Amino acid sequence: MRRAFESPRARLLQRFAAFAQGLRFLLDLRAELLAHVKKDPRLLPLDAELEQLFSTWFDVAFLELRRITWDDPASLLEKLIQYEAVHAIRGWADLKRRLGEDRRCYAFFHPRLPGEPLIFVEVALLDEMADSIAPLVDESAPEGDPSRATTAIFYSISNTQIGLRGVGFGDSLIKRVVETLRTELPRLRAFATLSPIPGLRGWLSKNVPNLLERLDAKHRAELQAALGETALQADTVLSVWERTRETEANSPWRQWLLACTAYYLACALPGGKPADPVARFHLGNGARVERINWGGDPSAKGWKQSYGLMVNYWYDLQRIDRHRALLAQGRVAASREVERLWRDWMKP
């Protein structure tokens, strides 16, 4: 029965793995294939078979976790610069700072692909939860003492192989890194992220009418007063948010943007899953939405994605299973601060 259900094509693909460059060839094949699958459904079975094979061959039990340091070969360090997908590495000085004593970079490697990181995570060792990405990637920032750090901030996770799309091991990477850090640095007590919110802008542009309907009367009046005689409607809202970069902390427009962001992260669950892709990853791993940071990413990319807002996801190691169970019930684990942000502005 097993032979009857296994296609000749799958048996052929398995034979490629016996050759020195066979696995590399298959990864490149699927990376190229993914660009054509939507246009030609006949390729779907081949894509499914490759994904299934990779899920077995790249099981986390076969992967090696390694810390990458400045002493590693230049060919490997160049790959970090090439593959960094969250906060671009501006050059060798930037990379050297990210690999400093108070920083860590860990990656998964496969024995058949030596020197080729499959996924890597960058960590900052601090004494408090970070609220801005700029100090973490500032190449001129002085180094801290990692032995005195109490908080590990995961600020960038990058997949390097397009051909491994759909084969998830990011959650295992974080778990393994947490275990490694706790052993190396016993003073560490908190594990959190400083994450982008890449889906926020697009979601807001589509959902402003609904958000306006949810506004309570008090805050609607505050926004209208700040707006003047212009009507409070969707296009006006988006136009005002474009100018909130330098607004004061007590501005009602700034506070409403924070409230809408909190609602997006804590309540937007299409199909029972978080709408934001980064939230979907961390919340699915058992994290909690801890804090939203105004001006967390002042870069052009950060402004384009989320008006510069960033979020901390907190990995409470004692409550990870509880948070996962909560998400399975269609509810997001969020701090009181985040819950209060949107509840203060929205009708029940």
63-102 pLDDT tens trace: 999 999 999 999 999 999 999 999 999 999 999 999 999 9
pTM metric for this prediction: 0.91
Question: Is CATH 3.40.630.150 the classification given to domain 200-343?
Answer: yes
Mean pLDDT of 106-118: 94
182-211 pLDDT tens trace: 999 999 999 999 999 999 999 999 999 999
331 pLDDT band, cuts 50/70/90, is very high
Mean pLDDT of 6-12: 84
Question: In this predicted model, which residue has the larger pLDDT, 175 or 169?
Answer: 175
**Segments making up each domain of the chain, as ranges:** 2-57, 61-193, 200-343
Q: Would you name the residues annotated as active-site residues?
A: 195, 282
Mean pLDDT of 300-328: 95
Task: Give how far the C-alpha of residue 124 lies from the chain's centroid of Cα atoms, to the nearest Å.
Answer: 15
Q: Are 308 and 302 in contact (CB under 8 A)?
A: yes
Q: Are 244 and 253 in contact (CB under 8 A)?
A: yes
- How is the beta sheet containing 151-159 ordered, strand by strand? 64-67, 103-109, 119-126, 151-159, 190-193, 310-314, 288-293
The chain-wide mean pLDDT, for the chain, equals: 93
61-193 and 200-343 share one fold: yes
Fold of 61-193: Aminopeptidase (3.40.630)
